Each structure stands twice: as structure tokens, then as C-alpha cells.
Structure 1
């Protein structure tokens, strides 16, 4: 069996997705997710111009070799564009696993060692412009069956804040395509004063038994993150996510010294080197990388095995901008690894679900990968073509005095 054809499909059924489709000379196809939110066309160019020409004629079963060929063979490596595009370095890697599992007639998780559990626990996103609206959102997530909830709320005095979304008449999130980045505002002191009150209100309304998560989205200095972690300890959060920019891995040492609040990070990481200090010094409790942005199933499985030696668990990034192809790969991997922690699951809109028909199922707050061969996703190329790319950007963040701040 050899790879006979490689196509890059760009579609926007509510938001942009980039998909790689590989086809073998025996007619077996495989899909990989190469979406990089806000920089989609950079990945399309990388795939089309630099990766696809290398794939024709390769043995699709040689997944590890292909990963090393595309990663080590490129002198300029690492970085999210490369890692999202280079196969086995994400799109190619997942597509090859999809082909291998289809050829074996098995769901992917069976090739990864089989099931380590019966289903995957998830957490959903609850948000509100103020605390009463947040409480309504938490109640809705619980009614949907989520066993854990991430809580984000507006901050008094600020107009637009990360994690608080515009919603439509039925409560669906409204995604605005942006020709220029939306500018959000930020006041760290106001945030640090407000957030403990948010947790207090949610605990008072729903009790101590619900796992509550919170995302600081890289906006705090290490000492500010330590203060927030300490202030949240009475409310026993499941985790505090991305409390400070972790390009400087040593920054987490300060946070860790001052709080017992569990820490999660890594959704913007691309290689194991980004994690080395964090894992070996046990500075975090959950690794958050996505299959799509970490180079695929192959390296992410290795990361989880590395983290397991230090009692650190998986928590694969699962926002709406990870396509159902990337989500399916995440579900199969989480189903197989022993040190699974929790899976973020935002779901997708109805049109996306039509474009990417998938075997994984969300029931009572839990995910199951299904038993279809491969990753269990089929791409409706005709419907995808009816929804072409739309230019969009992620927001940017400014302090009240106009200074650009981390978003």
C-alpha cells in the first residue's frame, strides 16, 4: 500500500477548518486536522507547498518513520504552523493512523492498546456577563450532563473579556468573523478581586461536589498567579488553567511554592521540550496540548507516557476550533491512555456536524469514540466546498491605558 493522493480541504461551516485527506493506491482514505485558528492559510500553504509533495509514494503504515522524516528532515522545525501542518506532526500523523486503523478494520483506540476505561469524563464551558448570568449557564451545563464545569465571567468595569461569549436566541454561541482582531480590555487588579467572589457564588448555589475549572488565559505574572491560586483554595477548584505565560517554564516554580490549587497548562505548546521542566519538577498537574497542535497522536501519546511517570494527567485541548477530526483523535487517545484526566468538550454547531460526520458520541456528559474503523470521521466534501474560507482573527487584549497585554 502506498499514498497515491493528498488533498487539503478548507471549509468554514461557522468557523474555519483545515483538513488533510490522504488516499492510498488501494482506495483507503485518512483524515487529519490542520486547523490553526486565525492563521489557517499559513498552514494551508505549508501543507500544499512543502508537505504534500513529499507524501506521494510513501508507505502509510510507517507512521513513526514519516513523523521523524517530516519533523527532523525540516531544519526549521517546531512552532505551531509547522506542528499543525506536518503530518505525524498532526494532520499527516492523524491521517496515517486513520488509514492504518481502517486497514486493520479497527477503531483507532484498539491500535493504541485498547480501552483503558468505559467513557471519557468531560467539562463544559459556563460563562456570563455577570454572576447571575453565569449561574444560569452553569445550571444549563449541568442539565446537559457535564460532570465538571469551567466558569468564566465578565468583570465589573470591563467591556469585553475572554471566555464570555455573545449568544443567540437559543443560547448558541455567536461566532463573528473578524477582518481585524476584536480588541478586549483588561484590568488585572479588578480580575483578582472579582474571581474569588465568582467561585464563592457558584459554590453557594451548587455546593462543594461539582468540579469547577477556571482559565486565566496567560494574563498573570507568576506572583499574581500565586495569589489567585491561594485565594481560590477555599473553593477547591479542579484546576487553574494557564495562570501565567509558560514560555518561561521556571515561572511555575514560584506559583507552585505558594498554592496547592492544581495547575493545568500547555494548549499553546508544540513539543515535549516545552514541558520538560514542568513535568520533571512536577510543577503542573495536567497537560493541555491538542492532537492538532502537538504534531498528532504519535508525539502526544509519548508526552502522556512521560507525564505519567510524574503522576501528571492528560487534559487534551478541545475547543470549537479543533475540528471533529482533531476531536475524534483526542477521544481515541484519551480512551486508550492510562493517565487520562478530563476532556474539554465544547461541541460544534449543527452545520459542522454535517460536514464532518463522526462516530464519537457525547452522552450524559461523557464521550465515547465509537467502534467505526479508523478515527470514525467522514468528510462531506461537497458540503464543505459550499462553505469557503472566511478571514478571521482571534481577539487581542489591551490594558485600560492602551498597552497590549497577553490574550
Structure 2
């Protein structure tokens, strides 16, 4: 079996999904996701200009060697652009393997460890009352885990993942449109004084069984993060996400000395070498890598295996920038992984998205059930893809009230 061609498609409903399709001489094709949020044209160009020409003629079954070829064969290694491109190739090659074997991918990993995988939703509100309404909606829908974010009194702008106005924003997603980023204003003091009490009110209202998650989004210093983690212990969080910037990994040692709150980190990591020490030293409780950004199934499976040795569970990134292909790859890993924790899941199942990426995977009552279709279990409608084109966008930036640039 040989690879005969590969194509890259950029576009999708309200997202610039980067979809790779690898063709073989036996009529079997594989699909992969290379979407790098708000930098989508970069992995797309890397695939088209360099990687695809080097794929032609290779045996797609040799996915390990192909992964090593592109990662170790490159003098400048890693980084989100390259790893997203490698991730798409690796995902597509695994998809081909599954189709050859006529088996869903989880069977190639070792079979299921569970019937369904728990997912968490994003509850948000302009204020705490608004957030409570959002949480209640998800609880009514059967969710057992919810991430909570709300506006902070006195903060000049709404803040991370928070709508500006109340009501009707249950599935709110930050607006990334436009090449020039919007600006959020941040005040750590106001946040640290308000949020511990707000989290405690949520716990008191919804009881001990609901798994409550909260994302700091890298915005505290190590000392602040340690103080904050200790202050939210009574709220019994399922996890506290990204309390400090990921570059300063020693900060997590400081947090660990002061609090027992579970820590989740890793959505910006691209390789095992960025998170192996955190895992081996057991400084995190959940590892948040994504199959796309972290170089595909081959590499992420290594991270999961390492994490399992150190009591670290998975909590894969699942922002709407990941297409249904990445989410399917993670769903197969979730079905298999003995150390599965939870899966982030934002609403993808619009009619437009389902038409572009048809599948029989099922998300219901806060649980994701992977289908038994061969490979990833997701197809791609090229005719439907012609409806969409690339639209540039950017993440917001964050500044302090005096204008100092801060961490997004």
C-alpha cells in the first residue's frame, strides 16, 4: 500500500478547520485535523509545501516511522505549527489503519476501558446569578461536570470566557473574529477576592456530587496562585486549570506545597518533553494535551501511558477550534485509556458541522459514546467544504488596568 496524494482543506462553519485527507493506491483514505486556532494557514502551508510532497510513495501503515521522519528528521523540532501538521498526518494514518483492519481505533489501542466518557461543559455568565442559570441548564441536561466562569465585580471588561451582557449566553464562545485582537482588562486582586466565595456559592447551590472545574487561564503569579488554590479548597473543585503560565513549571511545586487542590495543565504543550517532568514529579493531576497540537495519536498515547504510571489522569483539550476529527481521535483514546479523567466538550454538533463531518458518535447526558465505525468513525464531505473559506481572526489580548500586557 502506498500514499498517492494528500489534500488540505481550510474552512468550516464559524471555524477555519484545517482538514487533511490522505489518499492511497487501494482506495482507502484517512482524515486528520491540523487546526491551529487563529493561525490556521500556517500548518496548512507547512503540510502543502513540505510534508505532503514527502508523504507521496510512503506506506501509510508505517505511521511510527513516518512520525519519526518528520519530528526527528527536522533540525528545528516541535512547536505548535509543526506538531499540528504532524498530528494531522498521524491521525489520518491511524484512520487508514482502522479502515484496513475494519475496526474502530480504540480496538487497535487495546479495547474499551469504559462504555462512555464523561465530558464537561462550559457554564458562563456576566455575573454569578447569570452563571448559576447556565450551570442549572447543564445539570438539567445530565452533565456531571461543568467548568464555571463569571464576570468579576469592578473589572473593567467581562474577562476570560465571559459574555458582556446577561442572559441567553449558555453556549457563549469568545469572539475571535477580525485580525486585530480585542483587549480584555484584568485585575488579579479583584479576581482573588471575589472568585473563592463565588465558587463556594456554586458548591452550596448544586451540592457535593457536581464536578466543578475552574480555569484561571495563566493569569496569576506563583505566590498568588498558591494563595488562590488554598482559598478555594472548601469549594472541593474537581480541578483548578492553568493557575500560572505553563512556561514556569517550578511554580507548580510552590502551589503543591500550599494546597491540595487538583491541578490541570497542558493544553499549550506540544510534546512529551514539555510535560514529562510535571508528570514524573506528580505536580499535576490532569494532563490537558490535545491530539492535534501534541503531534497526533502516536505521541499523545505515549503521554497517556507515562501519565498512568504517576496517577495523572487525562483531561484532553476540547475547544471548538478542534474539529470533529480531533474530538473523535480523543474519544477513541478516552474509551481506551485506563487513566481517563474527563473530556472538555464544547458544542460542535450543529447541522452545518454534522454535514461537513458526518459520524455516528453520540454525545448525550454529559457522556460521549464512540461509534464502532472503522478508523476514526468520521467522514468529510468535500462538496460541503466548498461552502466555506478562510476568515482571519485572533485571540483577545489581556492588559492590566495601567496598560501592561498580561497573560492570555
TM-score by shorter chain over 0.5: yes
Aligned to 1:9: 9
- The answer for the alignment partner of 1:265 in structure 2 is 265
Partner of 1:99: 96
Map 1:390-401 onto structure 2 (within 5 A): 390-401=391-402
1:56-89 superposed Cα distances (whole Å, 9 cap, x missing partner): 1110100111100110011111110010012xxx
Aligned-residue Cα RMSD (Å) equals 1.4
Name the structure 2 match of 1:223.
223
Specify the SS of the correspondent of 2:232. Answer: helix
Q: Name the SS of the counterpart of 1:13 in structure 2.
A: coil
8 Å contact kept, 2:163–2:169? no
1:250 and 1:277 in contact (8 A); partners too: no
Q: Deviations over 1:126-166 (max 9, x none)?
A: 00010000000001111221111100001112213112146
Task: Give the number of aligned pairs.
Answer: 404
Question: 1-side partners of 2:70 and 2:275: how far apart?
Answer: 22
User: Offset of 1:264 from its aligned partner?
Assistant: 0.5
> 2:44 & 2:24 partners in 1: Cα distance?
21
Question: What is the TM-score with the length of structure 1 in the denominator?
Answer: 0.97
The alpha carbon displacement at 1:19 in A equals 0.7
CA distance in 2, matches of 1:253, 1:91: 34
In the other structure, the counterpart of 1:43 is 43
Checking the alignment, whether the CA contact within 8 Å between 2:134 and 2:170 is kept in structure 1 is no
2:176–2:395 contact (8 Å) kept in structure 1 = no
Q: Match for residue 277 of structure 1?
A: 277
Inter-CA distance 166–18: structure 2 relative to 1 (3 Å threshold)? farther
Q: CA deviation at 1:249?
A: 1.6
- Paired residue for 2:144, among 121, 141, 147? 147
Aligned residues of 1:20 and 1:33 also touching (Cα < 8 A):
yes
CA contact (8 A) 1:151 1:212 kept: yes
Q: Where do 5+ consecutive residues of structure 1 fail to align?
A: none
Distance in structure 1 (CA, Å) of the matches to 2:205 and 2:276: 40
Q: Distance in 2 between matches of 1:233 and 1:169?
A: 31
Listed one character per residue, the Cα deviations across residues 180-231 of structure 1 (whole Å, up to 9, x for unaligned) are 1111110000110111121122122111221100000011111111111100
After TM superposition, the runs of 4+ consecutive aligned structure 1 residues lying more than 2 A away are: 165-176
Counterpart of 2:161 in structure 1 is 163
Equivalent in the alignment of 1:362? 363
Partner of 1:351: 352
Say whether the 8 Å CA contact 1:14–1:351 is kept in structure 2.
Answer: no
Instruction: State the match for 1:375 in structure 2.
Output: 376
